[in-house]
Structure 1
Amino acid sequence: MEIYLIRHTTPVLEPGLIYGRTDLALHTDFPIELEAVKKKLDIDFDIVYSSPAFRCTELARALSLGFTTDLRLQELDFGEWEGKTWDTVDQIALQQWMDDYVHACVPGGESMMQMHSRVAAFWQELLQSDFKKVAIVTHAGVIRLILSIVRQIALKEVFDIKLAYGEVIRVDGKVPDNL
């Protein structure tokens, strides 16, 4: 199975904004970024999955009118921090989260381990399907977690994976022996 992990294009946001689940408009360069993404693909997909966030569904819609949204492809839930900026949240709570973002929950949100569980469930289900060519339009956090599964990267190291807006990464969907 060929799987294309596609990060959404550039959203409109203020510097330092915390926007895991916050819905954002797309930058006015969306048509240009869309064409750049399409040039990287040139594939007819059996299915296109998307996070339900607007910044993902607009790109997914441009790739396939029949795309499917899946809640498990949402970005990390930043809970009480959603829509705030990093410098305005409780700095003690922020430091506690940054010291152990894999296990610590954002106030009112989720931990990376919780997010990993839902993304891994989606991934395992996908690998059991009969699709040959799949596109997944989602967020940097979700892509990092999928890559952590595929490449066996420790969760504490996933932020070492740098992803640009509109980036496309092709992976082979192979069912591991322990599934």
Structure 2
Amino acid sequence: MEIYLIRHTRPQLTKGLIYGRTDLPLAESFEEEMINVRSILPEDIEAVYSSPSQRCSHLAHAISAKPLLDERLYELHFGEWEGKTWDTIDRMASEIWMEDYMNRRPPAGETMLEMKERVKSFWDEIKATGKQRIAVVTHGGVIRLLLAIEGQIAIENMWERVISFGEVVCIST
């Protein structure tokens, strides 16, 4: 089984924006990035799954006429910090969160371990489908967690793995 993990293309960003679940418009580079992603993927993809975020679903629709949107593929929920910039939130609160983001949550958000559980639930389900080639359009954090779940990176070092916009990572199981 081959599963192609695809990070969404570049969104329009404000520097320092906290945008886990915040829906952002796509950058002007979408068309070029989408063509590059499609050139990497094999033609015999049997199913395409996507985060419901516009920055993912738009790419998923360019890959498949009927992508399956799954809320378990959302990025980390930053709660009350969503849509703000790092320099505008309470610095002490953000430092406390960063000291143990695996177990602590932003105000009204989720912990990384909670995110890992929802992502693992999705992963276990698609691995049981019997399909041989699947594409998953999602976020950098989700891809890093999946690589950790598959033992390809250590979860405690997951942020060291750079996942570029429009990058395709293939996992064979």
Is TM (by shorter chain) over 0.5?
yes
Spell out the pairing of 1:1-179 with structure 2 (5 A cutoff).
1-151=1-151, 153-173=153-173
Deviates more, 1:140-149 or 1:121-130: 121-130
CA drift of 1:80 comes to 0.3
For 2:63 and 2:127, the matched residues in 1 are separated by 21
1:155-178 deviations in whole A, cap 9, x for unaligned? Answer: 2211011100000000013xxxxx
Q: Give the Cα separation in 2 of the matches to 1:101 and 1:155.
A: 12
The question of whether the paired residues in 2 share the 8 Å contact of 1:75 and 1:142 is answered with yes
3-state SS in 1 of match to 2:3: strand
The residue that corresponds to 1:177 in the other structure is: none
Unaligned runs of 5+ in 1: 174-179
Shift in alpha-carbon separation, 1:28–1:118, aligned structure 2, 3 A: same
The alignment's C-alpha RMSD in Å is 0.9
- CA apart distance, 1:69: 0.4
CA distance in 1, matches of 2:89, 2:13: 17
Q: What CA distance in whole angstroms lies between the structure 2 residues aligned with 1:155 and 1:28?
A: 33
Q: Which runs of 5+ in 2 are unaligned?
A: none
CA distance in 1: counterparts of 2:144 and 2:31, whole angstroms: 25
Mean Cα deviation higher: 37-46 or 131-140: 37-46
Cα distance in 2, alignment partners of residues 78 and 56 from structure 1: 18
* Distance (Å, rounded) in 2 between the aligned partners of 1:8 and 1:22: 14
TM-score (norm 1): 0.94
Task: Provide the rounded CA distance (Å) in 2 between the counterparts of 1:151 and 1:168.
Answer: 18
Moved more, 71-80 or 155-164: 155-164
Aligned pair count reads 173
Instruction: Tell me how far 1:121 sits from its aligned partner.
Output: 0.6
Q: CA deviation at 1:154?
A: 3.4
Amino acid corresponding to residue 37 of structure 2 in structure 1: V
SS at structure 1 position matched to 2:87: coil
In the alignment, the residues of structure 1 paired with residue 161 and residue 55 of structure 2 have an alpha-carbon distance, to the nearest angstrom, of 21
Q: Distance in 1 between matches of 2:25 and 2:64?
A: 20
CA contact (8 A) 1:102 1:155 kept: no
Q: What's the TM-score, normalizing by structure 2? A: 0.97
